[in-house]
């Protein structure tokens, strides 16, 4: 049996810090759940009384390795200790990681260690980069828990479930906060127009920008499209059949959905600004409409980009034109968001 300090659940982190600073924490022993309280394992040097808190004697629970690399054969781990990949993406039951050349010959060991580390992982894939105009990942399967090799999986984003397949259609969880903001902007636009709105995402991918809007009362209709047929197949699974979904070039859906959209999303980061003029016919006339887009531009070209956008929409009444950097893309480039509120004259 081992002595555990019983602390209120919400204060666990504070007490761990307190005990760790004094070197009173037992090494490699797990914290235990005691209902409203938690039991923190104490070592031999911890005093009998710690700030008057109760202690309980419990069977020690040995905590497992913290990282999958701890599960590699010891000699192998030590030989390449600075080289093993430390980060990876977990998307649903897939783990995707880049493998440095020096340890590529140990892919089997890497795959086995990752599967052993987390029961939730079904498939481990080496990420060989993004390819083609559809920005899909070149994935090489290195281990499967159950023999299945499909890269289709389901992820949860802001309470919505999405089918994705990173080997067939673009998806990144990284702009999740932007998607929440887009949702807020949609809610506010609908309030300003005092009616449900039409949202159009012509570069929808598998639909992460749209799933939040699906089946909401303030949404009249979703128009979603992508040029990649595999993305469209997943998009259909991710949106309800109230949406209008097509597989086409964004610049060609404008005629079909002329003057329909109240909120237009433009996410083709290397070409968003160049495509913008061909997309304007999608926007409704006679009242305020909104464009939210994302682009990758050189860090010193923010003002130039703003001027370029202004020129594209210059014949109309601009209510707001905001260009905000949101994250670095490379040493020279960054991802920006442009938000335009505009009232078309014709
Ligand atoms: C950066 S991804 C954005 C996908 C999605 N909006 C998201 O946030 O995850 C760009 C998408 O545009 C699609 N695409 C590329 N060129 C296109 C075009 N000319 N017309 C329509 N879609 C296109 C790609 O297949 C890809 O799914």
pTM of the model: 0.83
Q: How far is the CA of 191 from the centre of ligand 1 (A)?
A: 29
Report in angstroms the alpha-carbon separations of 120 from 89, 125, 145: 13, 15, 10
Q: pLDDT value at position 63?
A: 75
Write out the residue limits of the CATH 3.40.50.150 domain(s) in the chain: 173-343
Alpha helices in the chain (DSSP H): 12-21, 74-79, 107-117, 176-193, 229-238, 272-279, 302-312
pLDDT of the chain, 346 residues: tens digit per residue: 999 999 999 999 899 989 998 999 998 788 999 999 999 999 999 999 999 999 999 999 887 788 899 999 999 999 998 999 988 999 999 999 999 999 999 999 999 999 999 989 999 999 999 999 999 999 999 999 999 999 999 999 988 999 999 999 999 998 889 999 999 999 999 999 999 999 999 999 999 999 999 999 999 999 999 999 999 999 999 999 789 999 999 999 988 999 999 999 999 999 999 999 999 999 999 999 999 999 999 999 999 999 999 999 988 999 999 999 999 999 999 999 999 999 987 6
Architecture of domain 173-343: 3-Layer(aba) Sandwich (3.40)
Residue nearest to atom 11 of ligand 1 (CA): 203
Smallest Cα–Cα separation from 126: which of 85, 171, 68? 85
Choosing from 176, 203, 225 the residue with most ligand 1 atoms within 8 A of its CB, the one to mutate for a pocket test is: 203
Residues 115, 71 contacting (CB under 8 angstroms): no
SS3 132: coil
Pairwise CA distance, residues 302 & 159, whole Å: 34
Give 68-151's CATH code, choosing from 3.40.50.11440, 2.40.30.40, 3.30.300.110, 1.10.150.120: 3.30.300.110
Residues framing ligand 1 (Cβ under 6 A): 133-135, 170-171, 202-205, 208-209, 226-228, 231, 249-250, 267-269
Write out the residue limits of the CATH 3.30.300.110 domain(s) in the chain: 68-151
Ranges of beta strands (E only) in 85-145 are 89-91, 94-97, 123-131, 136-144
Q: How far is the CA of 226 from the centre of ligand 1 (A)?
A: 6
CATH topology of domain 2-58: Alpha-Beta Plaits (3.30.70)
Smallest Cα–Cα separation from 173: which of 106, 89, 298, 243? 89
Token pair for residue 205?
A: 């991918």
Write out the residue limits of the CATH 3.30.70 domain(s) in the chain: 2-58
Report in angstroms the alpha-carbon separations of 63 from 3, 29, 134, 311: 16, 5, 43, 61
């Amino acid at each position: 049996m081992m002595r555990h300090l019983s602390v209120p659940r919400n204060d666990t982190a504070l007490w761990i810090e307190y005990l760790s600073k004094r070197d009173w924490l037992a090494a490699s022993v797990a914290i235990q759940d005691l209902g409203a309280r938690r039991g923190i394992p104490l070592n031999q040097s911890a005093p009998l009384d710690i700030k008057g808190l109760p202690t309980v004697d419990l069977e020690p629970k040995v905590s497992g390795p913290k990282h999958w690399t701890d599960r590699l054969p010891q000699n192998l781990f030590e030989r390449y200790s600075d080289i093993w990949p430390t980060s990876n993406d977990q998307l649903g039951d897939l783990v995707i990681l880049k493998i440095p050349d020096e340890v590529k010959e140990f892919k089997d060991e890497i795959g086995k260690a990752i599967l052993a580390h987390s029961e939730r992982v079904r498939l481990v894939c080496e990420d060989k980069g993004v390819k083609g105009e559809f920005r899909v990942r070149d994935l090489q399967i290195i281990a499967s828990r159950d023999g299945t090799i499909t890269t289709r999986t389901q992820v949860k984003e802001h309470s919505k479930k999405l089918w994705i397949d990173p080997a067939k259609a673009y998806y990144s969880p990284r702009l999740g906060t932007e998607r929440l903001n887009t949702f807020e902007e949609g809610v506010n636009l609908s309030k300003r127009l005092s009616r449900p709105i039409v949202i159009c995402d012509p570069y929808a991918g598998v639909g992460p920008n749209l799933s939040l809007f699906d089946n909401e009362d303030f949404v009249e209709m979703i128009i979603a499209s992508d040029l990649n047929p595999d993305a469209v197949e997943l998009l259909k699974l991710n949106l309800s059949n109230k949406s209008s979904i097509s597989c086409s070039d964004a610049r060609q859906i404008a005629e079909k959905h002329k003057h329909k959209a109240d909120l237009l999303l433009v996410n083709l980061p290397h070409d968003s600004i160049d495509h913008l003029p061909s997309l304007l016919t999608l926007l409704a006339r006679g009242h305020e409409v909104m464009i939210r887009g994302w682009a990758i531009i050189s860090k010193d070209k923010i003002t130039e980009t703003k001027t370029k956008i202004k020129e594209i929409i210059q014949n109309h009444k601009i209510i707001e034109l905001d260009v905000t950097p949101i994250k670095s893309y490379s040493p020279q480039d960054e991802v920006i968001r442009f938000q335009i509120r505009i009232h078309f004259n014709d």
